[in-house]
Amino acid sequence: MVKRDPHQERNQLGLRDPTTIRLLPAMPGFYEFFCGGGMARAGLGPEWRCLFANDIDARKGAAYVANWGSEELRVADVASLSVGELPGQADLAWASFPCQDLSLAGAGAGLDGARSGAFWAFCLTIRALVGIDARHV
């Protein structure tokens, strides 16, 4: 049986001083707009931390709560949100905005449609959040 040397193992890991502790970078955070049941959150996985989730539809909010709990969720129109309500500093803002007006099955109203037009309120929120022209978002 080979005897292990924990000091040698530490040196191989780059921890030359056994009292040295390397801090891992903070877990990246995200905002999830038009969250529905939280599928973007599911896709990002446990390496990401949800800071804020939003949907206008109470039924979709209930699905989100069933999947992830209610702590980060705010059921409201994205147009009613202010930047000051968004906690922390997100590394990612995700929006699965309604696509019915863009779909071949929809009426073809595009981003001027009642549903898909919600994109513009999201865009204004992000523009205010980062303080840059929306063309760069």
Q: Is residue 36 part of a domain?
A: yes
Distance CA 30, CA 122 (A): 15
- Domain count along the chain: 1
Q: Which residues contact 136 (CB under 8 A, 6 or more apart)?
A: none
pLDDT of residue 108: 72
Q: Is residue 18 part of a domain?
A: no
Q: Is residue 10 part of a domain?
A: no
Q: Is residue 9 part of a domain?
A: no
Q: Is residue 127 part of a domain?
A: yes
In this prediction the pTM is 0.71
Can you give the residue range of the structural domain that contains 58?
26-136
Q: Are 26 and 4 in contact (CB under 8 A)?
A: no
pLDDT digits (tens, 9 = 90+) for 64-113: 999 999 999 999 988 898 888 899 888 998 888 766 656 777 677 766 66
Q: Is residue 17 part of a domain?
A: no
Task: Of 7, 28, 4, give the one whose Cα is nearest residue 92.
Answer: 28
Q: Is residue 67 part of a domain?
A: yes
- CATH code assigned at 116: 3.40.50.150
